[in-house]
């Protein structure tokens, strides 16, 4: 466990004395390459498998449950769906299936060769397939057991705003479709291509535009490139004692640009707000020019704000290249509590009361009994005293409580609690 970095977030008197710089440019940050799986959610080294004994085991090393057996999971699933599932009767994935041949626009390829290096252009089939979908059940099923009829024909990896502006011009000149790509985590089919599109479709992957450019401890703002992945920008800001506080469940893979383009919501919104509350400026390359400003105040009363149109625009109005976001000092302590209610209605009543109390935790989630049971089955097999404790808890929940429905609140996703290499603030946990 590490304390907040030294020097800490500047105090009011430090700011008044003028010893604190305004915008502090940050040196280039190079996160270690850690590619995701192309055909399923997550990293290739993590996942679930069934052991010879027919027990589910969490593979890998990244998470708290990694390497553990989850003996309750399959029996619980069998009970819930009332089917005696055979764990070894697997519907084998056919990934990647049939991948549509690319449409090639020679004029566009010729034009981009003038300003992009060869390693910024990719026409690999599986990479193209990955840029053509998000994470809906339908899309994930299609890539494993069916096919996507239309996907991007080419991927480009621009490195700065100027290259994006040139890409847009080349697309206009050659009648090519550009689709910005962040983490590919959307669940709204935002990346699915129109099957009848005859023009060349080019995915503009923002991967290389991933930097926290500057932080401003006086005005509590940071300038961040749109391709910055949630887990990286969170770590980077934490190095300097700050957080953006935006934590969608997809934080590991989704990007700042994607959050803005999909109007995302984070689980700590009670404390920090949703993405629309956190963005104070945005730079967008549109078909008709660039929306950008040299300076930005936290708020202005000057009528309609066209930058707001970008929220939720899903790439239709232009390519977001960077944004100015609000930042907050990291909390000194994070507390987690779980409360068990006799009935679900009691939990709902509590949530209403909590809303009116004006004293919200950063995150509060009411889960029903099924979700609660699932979370219990995802716990590693315990031993010794903790096994007895776990047994007593389970007995209480399943035998004695009236309805066994529960409320949980947790300010960070479980993978963050589990990550071994992070240095979060002090955490305290209790169950009520
Ligand atoms: C397991 C899981 C958990 C999730 N949890 C949440 C959650 O808690 N809250 C929530 O709101 N959503 C959640 N989502 C949905 C998804 O993560 C969000 O919609 C996220 O904001 C998408 O970001 P992305 O970078 O992956 O965008 P992508 O999926 O790559 O793109 C989404 C859309 O935005 C456009 N786009 C991407 N980058 C840019 C850019 N730079 N400029 C212009 N347009 C761009 C794309 O063209 C596309 O139309 C979850 C999804 C999954 C699979």
pLDDT at residue 193, rounded to an integer = 98
- What does DSSP assign to residue 397? I
Please compute, for residue 253, the number of CA atoms within 13 A of its CA located in the half-sphere on the CB side. 17
- What does DSSP assign to residue 354? H
Query: What are the chain's domains?
Result: 106-205 (3.30.43.10), 209-329 (3.30.465.10), 333-431 (3.30.70)
Query: What contacts 368, CB < 8 A, 6 or more positions away?
Result: 344, 405
Which strands form 212-216's sheet, in the order they lie side by side? Answer: 24-25, 212-216, 221-225, 319-326, 279-286, 289-291
**Cα 46 to middle of ligand 1, angstroms:** 22
Taking CA atoms only, the protein residue closest to ligand 1 atom 27 is: 258
User: Which atom of ligand 1 is nearest the CA belonging to 265?
Assistant: 11
pTM beyond cutoff 0.85: yes
| Mean pLDDT, residues 372-386 taken together | 82
> How confident is the model over 129-156, as pLDDT tens digits?
999 999 999 999 999 999 999 999 999 9
Report residue 67 as tokens.
């390497």
Q: How confident is the model at residue 411 (pLDDT cuts 50, 70, 90)?
A: very low
Kindly tell me if the per-residue pLDDT of 302 is higher than 90. Answer: no
Kindly tell me if the per-residue pLDDT of 289 is higher than 60. Answer: yes
Specify which residues 156 forms β-bridges with: 121, 204
Q: How confident is the model at residue 428 (pLDDT cuts 50, 70, 90)?
A: low
Nearest Cα to 149, choosing from 221, 94, 197, 114?
197
Q: How confident is the model at residue 3 (pLDDT cuts 50, 70, 90)?
A: very low
Q: What percentage of the chain reaches a pLDDT higher than 90?
A: 75
10 Å CB burial of residue 282 (0-12, 13-18, 19+) is buried
pLDDT at residue 399, rounded to an integer = 53
Q: Which residue has the tokens 């040139």?
A: 166
Kindly tell me if the per-residue pLDDT of 120 is higher than 60. Answer: yes
Which residues have C-beta atoms less than 6 Å from ligand 1? 134-135, 179-187, 190-191, 206, 226, 248-250, 254-255, 257-259, 261-262, 264-265, 267, 314-315, 319-320
Taking CA atoms only, the protein residue closest to ligand 1 atom 52 is: 250
User: Would strands 221-225 and 242-243 be described as parallel, antiparallel, or unpaired?
Assistant: unpaired
pLDDT at residue 393, rounded to an integer = 67
The rounded distance, in Å, linking the Cα atoms of 285 and 406 is 47
Find the angle CA(407)-CA(135)-CA(33) to the nearest 5 degrees.
100
User: Which atom of ligand 1 is nearest the CA belonging to 247?
Assistant: 8
Kindly tell me if the per-residue pLDDT of 432 is higher than 60. Answer: no
Q: Which residue has the tokens 């002090």?
A: 426
């Amino acid at each position: 466990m590490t304390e907040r970095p030294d020097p800490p977030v500047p105090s009011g008197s430090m700011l008044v004395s003028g010893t604190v710089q305004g915008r502090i440019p940050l040196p280039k940050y190079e996160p270690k390459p850690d590619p995701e799986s192309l055909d399923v959610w997550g990293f290739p080294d993590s996942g679930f498998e069934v052991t010879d004994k027919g027990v589910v085991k969490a593979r890998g090393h990244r998470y708290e449950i990694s390497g553990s057996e989850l003996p309750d999971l399959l029996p619980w699933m069998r009970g819930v769906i009332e089917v005696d599932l055979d764990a070894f009767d697997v519907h084998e994935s056919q990934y990647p299936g049939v991948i549509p041949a690319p449409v090639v626009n020679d004029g566009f390829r010729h034009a981009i060769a003038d300003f992009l290096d060869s390693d910024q252009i990719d026409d690999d089939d599986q990479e193209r397939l990955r840029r053509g979908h998000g994470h809906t059940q339908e899309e994930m099923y299609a890539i494993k057991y069916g096919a996507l009829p239309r996907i991007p024909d080419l991927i480009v990896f621009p490195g700065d705003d100027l290259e994006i502006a040139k890409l847009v011009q080349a697309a206009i000149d050659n009648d090519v479709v550009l689709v910005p790509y962040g983490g590919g985590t959307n669940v709204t089919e935002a990346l699915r291509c129109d099957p009848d599109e005859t023009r060349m479709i080019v995915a503009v992957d923002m991967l290389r535009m991933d930097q926290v450019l500057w932080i401003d401890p006086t005005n509590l703002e940071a300038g961040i490139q749109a391709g910055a992945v949630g887990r990286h920008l969170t770590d980077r800001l934490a190095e300097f004692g700050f957080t953006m506080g935006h934590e969608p469940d997809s934080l590991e893979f989704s990007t700042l640009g994607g959050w803005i383009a999909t109007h995302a919501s984070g689980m700590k919104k009670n404390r920090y707000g949703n993405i629309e509350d956190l963005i104070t400026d945005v730079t967008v390359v549109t078909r008709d020019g660039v929306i950008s400003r040299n300076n930005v105040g936290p708020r202005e009363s000057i009528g309609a704000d066209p930058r707001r149109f970008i929220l939720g625009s899903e790439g239709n109005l232009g390519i977001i290249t960077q944004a100015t976001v609000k930042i907050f000092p990291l909390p000194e302590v994070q507390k987690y509590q779980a409360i068990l209610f006799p009935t679900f209605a009691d939990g709902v009543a509590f949530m209403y009361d909590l809303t009116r109390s004006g004293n919200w935790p950063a995150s509060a989630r009411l889960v029903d009994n099924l979700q609660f049971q699932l979370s219990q089955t995802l716990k590693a097999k315990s031993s010794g005293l903790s096994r007895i404790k776990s047994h007593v808890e389970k007995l209480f929940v399943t035998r004695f409580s009236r309805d066994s429905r529960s409320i949980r609140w947790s300010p960070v996703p479980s993978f963050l609690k589990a990550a071994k290499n992070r240095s979060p603030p002090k955490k305290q946990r209790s169950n009520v």
